[in-house]
């Protein structure tokens, strides 16, 4: 892993892979020689992970004993990639991950804020002194790490654009700069006049810090802090709990409502592929098109009734 995988993966992804190896792969199948591991061995391994593979930690006591299907699929992909490399190096002649039956991933329900909820949310955000952060996130759909990774050198007030060039993440207990998720995540977004006004107000609040949304110490803000802050604002506003990522979904949903194409939404959000955007938001795009079709049909019927 140190000589090959670490070079290719983002630091946070590499750390996750290390955890998979240490907590699951080595204890269960680490003693089996590469050439002797079979698809049946892997199938038993995956079933064990699904039934009771979660590591016994205090913070996980209230969670299900088994790992989530998506986690098992990620472990499967990791093992498959390792075998592909082993085949390239002539260490094995086959990849036992091929043909394995994988658990179906149940996608979490996407939650968004309605127009009325956004009004209450922004009012509470103003009262809590964090309006600028959440306004910009809802206006741009930035990922949490991307939002916290913004520096003032990324903002061009004259051209009214912001460059997304880095992310902030927590690694080994430290808040650090990290590369973006994909190459498409590196993007330049135009800003509305309102967004520029909000950022100018934020600039006056931050003093000499290089970060657009600094911590009290002047450095980058912790991703955990903005999540806890979000839950406080939602609770005080009398709104349901949502994930920080659901603010990004809210932005995308508003774009769909305004008939922005999925291709343009993909570029705006920095998704790696069009398919990613389509998988998440096609149902919204389709529903809006159906509403348009129904409205057109109603209009035709009204004209027909007037002429009869």
What integer pLDDT is reported at residue 237 of this predicted model?
96
Euclidean distance between the first and final Cα of the chain, in Å?
77
**Is residue 169 within a helix (H) or strand (E), and if so which, with residue range?**
strand 167-171
Q: Three-state DSSP class for 2?
A: coil
Structure tokens at 237: 């506003």
Convert the pLDDT of each residue in 154-207 to its tens digit.
Answer: 999 999 999 999 999 988 788 999 888 889 999 999 999 999 999 999 999 998
Give the chain's mean pLDDT. Answer: 86
Using pLDDT thresholds of 50, 70 and 90, give the confidence band for residue 101: very high
CA dihedral 132, 149, 144, 232 (to 10 degrees): -50
Convert the pLDDT of each residue in 114-151 to its tens digit.
Answer: 999 999 999 999 999 999 999 999 999 999 999 999 99
Is the confidence at residue 293, as pLDDT, over 50?
Answer: no
How far apart CA 298 and CA 307 sit, in angstroms, is: 14
Is the confidence at residue 288, as pLDDT, over 60?
Answer: no
Q: In terms of Cα–Cα distance, which of 99, 105, 93 is closest to 41?
A: 99
Convert the pLDDT of each residue in 59-81 to its tens digit.
Answer: 445 567 888 899 999 999 999 99
How far apart CA 123 and CA 126 sit, in angstroms, is: 5
Decide: 64 and 56 in contact? Cβ < 8 Å. Answer: no
Is the confidence at residue 275, as pLDDT, over 80?
Answer: yes
Mean pLDDT of 44-57: 84
Mean pLDDT of 99-128: 89
Mean pLDDT of 260-275: 90
User: Can you tell me which residue has the tokens 């892993």?
Assistant: 1
pTM over 0.85? The answer is no
Residues near 196 by beta carbon (within 8 Å), at least 6 away in sequence = 157, 160
What integer pLDDT is reported at residue 286 of this predicted model?
52
């Amino acid at each position: 892993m140190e000589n090959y995988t670490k070079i290719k993966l983002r630091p946070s992804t590499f750390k996750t892979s290390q955890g998979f190896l240490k907590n699951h792969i080595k204890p269960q199948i680490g003693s089996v020689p590469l050439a002797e591991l079979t698809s049946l061995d892997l199938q038993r391994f995956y079933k064990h992970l699904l039934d009771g593979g979660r590591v016994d930690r205090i913070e996980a006591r209230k969670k299900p004993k088994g790992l989530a299907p998506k986690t098992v699929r990620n472990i499967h992909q990791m093992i498959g990639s390792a075998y592909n490399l082993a085949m390239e190096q002539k260490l094995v002649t086959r990849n036992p991950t091929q043909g394995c039956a994988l658990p179906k991933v149940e996608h979490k329900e996407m939650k968004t804020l309605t127009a009325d909820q956004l009004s209450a949310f922004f009012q509470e955000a103003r009262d809590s002194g964090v309006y600028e952060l959440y306004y910009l996130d809802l206006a741009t759909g930035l990922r949490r790490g991307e939002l916290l990774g913004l520096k003032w050198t990324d903002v061009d007030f004259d051209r009214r654009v912001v460059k997304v060039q880095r992310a902030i993440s927590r690694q080994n207990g430290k808040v650090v700069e990290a590369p973006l998720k994909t190459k498409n995540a590196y993007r330049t977004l135009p800003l509305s006049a309102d967004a520029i006004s909000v950022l100018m107000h934020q600039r006056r609040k931050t003093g000499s810090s290089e970060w657009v949304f600094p911590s009290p110490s002047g450095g980058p803000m912790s991703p955990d802090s903005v999540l806890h802050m979000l839950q406080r604002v939602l609770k005080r506003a009398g709104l349901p709990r949502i994930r920080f990522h659901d603010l990004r979904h809210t932005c995308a949903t508003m774009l769909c409502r305004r008939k922005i194409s999925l291709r343009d939404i993909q570029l705006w959000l920095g998704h790696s592929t069009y398919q990613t955007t389509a998988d998440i938001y096609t149902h919204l795009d389709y529903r809006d098109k159906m509403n348009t079709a129904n409205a057109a049909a109603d209009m035709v019927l009204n004209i027909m009734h007037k002429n009869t």
